[in-house]
Structure 1
């Protein structure tokens, strides 16, 4: 990963580097606030776009992206980038937000924070419409890979021969199969609300809490902001919002109450998110421990019928997964994996600084 990052940085000229390089992780509160400011909309994610680079540099960008993903994860990300061209056709090539091209596969951003491979922590962020990949490296190892967001619009697209392209389809199908397999008593507890929220509940918040994320926050301030920017991103208020609000104790049905077949579905569903990153980095083996799987809660909102708007989340210690498929007739999916304790690696950075930057008094000198 460090070699790929250095190769890309070495290819940049002075002006490109000014945009491409951010301050090292943990440098100060301002630097951390910008590193933790993330998006999944077609807005400015911060960094250097494909448009600002030569084709040879594009290849180096994708080499770095590949270093942080499994083979399947990389294929999915590359497909999501290509869906911008499909979405443009779905919208009859007519959407105009005042820039040269609105649905733009060149509008993906890369920024490296700090010096790759050095003694200090460093990281990188790649993102654009429906992609946000965030990596932190501390003491020579990948210490954090979340938030990790992927979306698909359209979620399903026709292919020749009657096939359908569904980059995130398995994450939808396994969850629906699981919730539909529940007995009536468990289903009543799992389905928190009869309608689905318009978006993932945590939005692009830097921390997981019960704060309402507004639509305008999903976009960096600039020439385009969505209509009703001050409204909740989820479209939920009052008792509906409280039904899906995050609480210290996860809502829904825990894995401990599922039968053996349902537990297999739950673990497979976890794999569709946690296998985005390479073996050795993915926390999926954690769920080989029955106690860890016991603690994962499934919650659902909306219809359980295919093709209708729905939402689900998986929540447990060091885990939050959110999915929604609501818009375009339930053909526009958002799917995010987060670690509420160490998104962006904040706790790892704190431990690193405590170990390597102690004061003389603390060292007893």
Structure 2
């Protein structure tokens, strides 16, 4: 049997290949090479934390693979802190294989924002950690054997980052959920300019909703108030009727060992929910539904449709072009994408939006910290984590 290392090296992407012409198989090959190199650099103790079982054939590993977070909690895996500089470089090389250049810059910037947030909050310890806002607490974990015959994948995550990738039969088949956030969403740079890692992702949606005439705006704006967070949160599977999960519920462990710290988190969570002011009826109104809410693309004029496509592309462009679904969104596909907004349309005010269509769910919110704390996620409600491909793979193996 061909060893995983040899198999991966045999199919390694030629460095001269134009990345714009790469295929999902070539991208998976790059991932396999990078993952093998990273795992090979680790000692036995590190590998116990960094390397888990084969997806779909190890129930514990598969359950862990499908857990994801965007809070500053334990995301599962080997942290940047736990690695030498050379290992960190190898880890970030693997992360880069799953992102476009713009996506990589955004993730790296988000990690760096932890230093800014630490200053904003007064350099205090938080969340039962020695350093609550810590750019070294980003976690990488590989599932299965990279480049081998069985499915394998990897996850990278920390505060405001969650990247989830699955490879089956040597092809990158899933890149969702894909979460990116920014806190602060806007902060000053020298020369009186602003650092806004997700600025255009916010601005294009606002431009779209404000471009709508009253009769269409009424359909797009589903609620005058914004929920305190993403409606579907970090659920493994999204379901009809899902509502906002309080912040305190989006952590790996139910409670911190330090009861005082747990009480602080509960107070912050309660304040977020109170500030948004949603009634039970409001939560129902903004809840996720399998039948999309909002304004469909077929009701928009050409310039609005063009703007909606640009907004979609700002999410799809997070990943390498070889696996971006942007080219699938022709006029017929755009007809079936619904755009929904909640909250104020004024800049600087709390707001939320959703883009939803067949095998598509995008959510954005910027409500916390006086609307200077952004969350955004791209999901496939039918097949996050590549569950559809894994099911077919298992069925084939047991046929």
- Where on the TM-score scale, by shorter chain, does this alignment land: which range? over 0.9
The Cα shift of 1:233 comes to: 8.2
**Cα deviations across residues 293-319 of structure 1 (Å, max 9, x unaligned)?**
110000000000001000000000000
Structure 2: runs of 5+ lacking an equivalent: 1-30
Answering whether residue 291 of structure 2 is matched by residue 259 of structure 1, we say no
1:80 to 103, 110, 132: 110
Answering whether residue 379 of structure 2 is matched by residue 332 of structure 1, we say no
Cα distance in 2 for partners of 1:341, 1:237 equals 29
Is the 1:253–1:299 contact (alpha carbons within 8 Å) kept by the matching residues of 2? yes
1:301 to 339, 342, 351: 342
Is the 1:214–1:232 contact (alpha carbons within 8 Å) kept by the matching residues of 2? no
Is the 1:203–1:233 contact (alpha carbons within 8 Å) kept by the matching residues of 2? no
Where 1:53 maps in the other structure, the secondary structure is coil
TM-score (structure 1 length as normaliser)? 0.94
The Cα shift of 1:29 comes to: 3.5
The Cα shift of 1:246 comes to: 1.6
Answering whether residue 131 of structure 2 is matched by residue 89 of structure 1, we say no
Is the 1:215–1:228 contact (alpha carbons within 8 Å) kept by the matching residues of 2? no
Where 1:135 maps in the other structure, the secondary structure is strand
Answering whether residue 209 of structure 2 is matched by residue 179 of structure 1, we say yes
- The answer to which structure has the higher helix fraction is 2
Matched with 2:23 is none
Matched with 1:283 is 325
Could you tell which deviates more after superposition, 242-251 or 230-239? 230-239
Matched with 2:390 is 349
TM-score (structure 2 length as normaliser)? 0.87
RMSD, aligned α-carbons: 1.6
Cα distance in 2 for partners of 1:158, 1:215 equals 27
Cα distance in 2 for partners of 1:241, 1:330 equals 19
**Cα deviations across residues 172-219 of structure 1 (Å, max 9, x unaligned)?**
000000000001011011111111111000000001112343433310
The Cα shift of 1:231 comes to: 6.6
The number of residues matched between the two structures is 357
Matched with 1:362 is none
2:315 to 252, 257, 273: 273
Matched with 1:169 is 199
Could you tell which deviates more after superposition, 125-134 or 49-58? 49-58
1:104 to 131, 134, 137: 134
Is the 2:272–2:368 contact (alpha carbons within 8 Å) kept by the matching residues of 1? no
Matched with 2:252 is 220
Cα distance in 1 for partners of 2:267, 2:388 equals 36
Cα distance in 2 for partners of 1:45, 1:61 equals 15
